[in-house]
Amino acid sequence: MTSLADLPAVERLPYDIARIRRDFPILKREVSSGARLVYLDNAATSQRPVQVLAEITRFYRDHNANIHRGVHTLSVEATELYEQARAKVARFIGAADPREIIFTHNTTESINLVAHGWARKHLQPGDEVVISEIEHHSNIVPWQMLRDERGITLKYIPMLPDGTLDLDAARSIITDRTRLVSITAMSNALGTIVPLDVIVARARAVGALVLVDGAQSVPHMPVDVQTLGSLGVDFLAFSGHKMLAPFGIGILWGRLPVLESMDPFMGGGDMILTVSMERSTWADVPAKFEAGTPNVGDAIALGAAVDYLSALGMDAVRRHEREITDYALRRLADVPGVTIFGVPDAERRGGVISFELDGVHPHDIGQVLDTKGVAIRTGHHCAQPVMLALNVPATARASFYIYNTTDEVDALASGLEEVGRFFGVRK
């Protein structure tokens, strides 16, 4: 049987990769060493295609005005474009109503919005919030702050040595006292894809609400909130900058009745219905959660990013990344001294590979690879509990997106072989 690695790249990939790469001029640049950029830090942030860059310019050049405030042409146009972007995001994740899409700045703010707007209002001392050991700090710290302020109990579903969650333990950790389960769909540190159905079913059985951290799932695989909602998911948080859009635009999807039951997060302009010297009343969802002038231009550019991904098809995006990841798992396993953390197959992981190279500090790996043009992330990846569980201070992490090729994986592997030779790795 012909293995994937034996096939020419063009037969393996679900779309025309060369055409896609032409949309990302940054992929042609050289880094300071003079080497051609091989960008493998996509879990931190993606690159942006010319279509998104053009949309940013078009907005500021032709339509720039504040929204929801003016009757003049530019303000009306800007408002329409902003609300069209909301509708595009709603369609992209299958939301029934654009009012269920709240624009924030990033995943972190989306999770904090739920902690402040829902949890502070509805949770009492002794109530339990359940998260997991593989969460990003954004889905740990807000709950620790709430625990310290409100006397709630914070519990963790443990990680097993292969980077998956202990689902048996989850069944007993989620109890009648659990009011919220806040869980990642995919680990940014290890790439583990979490079987949400099992965890959400248990949460639903005890009447708990569920927040899904979609920062690493929405950009990389089909995500449909109708399906998630029918499982029992109430909130989905994600960031534009990991899915081709600019920095500073994030999304919280919530089920409308739940959003309507929440308090505002921040007070100010645009989120009110009336203000007197004594009191204020709130605007309807979503305006209630979008205090002050929002990030209009970047929301509109997010709409262009969503158009781009929709044209590719999220099934094809996932297929491409699974194939690249499968290839990379096998390629890196052959590099002397490399240990890959997490599940051994590309089926149960997204396009993220964390690894160590025997005896070489991850920062040194990152620095030497940079001289070859290869950009990876090194460190704790804002997931220190995962590092503690693995008993390592840090890892090196390569992460893939729509434009990465098997040639780039080869560049990573041969770069690592060179790092190994340089540092005298023998295994």
* Footprint of ligand C6P on 10-49 (CB under 6 A): 43-44
Structure tokens that stand for 17 in this block? 């990769």
Q: Which of 128, 213, 326, 408 binds ligand C6P (CB under 6 A)?
A: 213
Residue (of 367, 365, 310, 356) closest to 332 by Cα position: 356
Binding part of the chain for ligand C6P, among 136-144, 147-155, 321-329, 419-427 by CB under 6 A, reads: 136-144
Q: Distance between CA 405 and CA 384 in Å, rounded?
A: 30
Beta carbon nearer to ligand C6P, 107 or 405? 107
Q: Is 132 in the site for ligand C6P (CB under 6 A)?
A: no
Q: Which of 79, 112, 138, 182 binds ligand C6P (CB under 6 A)?
A: 138
Q: Is 108 in the site for ligand C6P (CB under 6 A)?
A: yes
Q: Which position has the token pair 């790249």?
A: 9
Q: Is 202 in the site for ligand C6P (CB under 6 A)?
A: no
Beta carbon nearer to ligand C6P, 112 or 178? 112
Q: Is 188 in the site for ligand C6P (CB under 6 A)?
A: yes
Residue (of 274, 264, 282, 272) closest to 104 by Cα position: 264
**DSSP classification of residue 245:** S
Give the residue numbers annotated as catalytic, written as ranges: 382
Neighbours of 31 (CB within 10 A): 16
Beta carbon nearer to ligand C6P, 100 or 213? 213
Beta carbon nearer to ligand C6P, 246 or 337? 246
Element containing residue 316 per DSSP (H, E): helix 314-333
Query: Which amino acid, one-letter code, is at 182?
Result: S
Binding part of the chain for ligand C6P, among 100-108, 157-165, 202-210, 281-289 by CB under 6 A, reads: 100-108
**Helices 406-422 & 362-371 angle (0-180, nearest 10):** 120
**DSSP classification of residue 272:** E
Size of interface with ligand C6P, in residues (CB under 6 A): 17
Q: Is 381 in the site for ligand C6P (CB under 6 A)?
A: yes
What are the residue ranges of helices labelled H in 59-195?
A: 73-92, 107-114, 120-122, 141-150, 167-173
Q: Is 178 in the site for ligand C6P (CB under 6 A)?
A: no
Q: Is 141 in the site for ligand C6P (CB under 6 A)?
A: no
Q: Which of 88, 136, 179, 255 binds ligand C6P (CB under 6 A)?
A: 136
Q: Is 220 in the site for ligand C6P (CB under 6 A)?
A: no
Strand arrangement of the beta sheet that strand 101-104 belongs to: 101-104, 250-254, 235-239, 209-213, 178-184, 128-132, 153-157
Beta carbon nearer to ligand C6P, 107 or 404? 107
Spell out, one character per residue from 284 to 323, where the chain touches ligand C6P: x when CB under 6 A holds, - when not.
Answer: ----------------------------------------
Q: Which position has the token pair 């030779």?
A: 421
Q: Report whether the peptide linkage leading into residue 286 is cis, meaning its omega lies within 30 degrees of zero.
A: yes
Least distance between ligand C6P and beta carbon 290 (Å): 17
Q: Which of 7, 160, 316, 382 binds ligand C6P (CB under 6 A)?
A: 382
Binding part of the chain for ligand C6P, among 70-78, 133-141, 270-278, 289-297 by CB under 6 A, reads: 133-141
Q: Distance between CA 272 and CA 282 in Å, rounded?
A: 4
Bridge-partner residues for 103, per DSSP? 251
Identify the sign of the CA torsion 264, 270, 274, 279. Answer: positive
Binding part of the chain for ligand C6P, among 21-29, 67-75, 101-109, 342-350 by CB under 6 A, reads: 101-109
Least distance between ligand C6P and beta carbon 190 (Å): 11
Q: Is 182 in the site for ligand C6P (CB under 6 A)?
A: no
Q: Is 215 in the site for ligand C6P (CB under 6 A)?
A: yes
Residue (of 323, 419, 407, 349) closest to 38 by Cα position: 407
Beta carbon nearer to ligand C6P, 142 or 229? 142
Task: Give the alpha-carbon dihedral of 135, 141, 145, 146, to 10 degrees.
Answer: -30
Q: Provide φ and ψ at 182, rounded to 5°.
A: -120, 110
Bridge-partner residues for 184, per DSSP? 213
Q: Is 74 in the site for ligand C6P (CB under 6 A)?
A: no
Q: Distance between CA 184 and CA 198 in Å, rounded?
A: 13
Q: Which of 79, 107, 164, 178 binds ligand C6P (CB under 6 A)?
A: 107
Enumerate binding residues for ligand C6P (CB under 6 A).
43-44, 106-108, 136, 138-139, 184, 188, 213, 215-216, 239, 377, 381-382
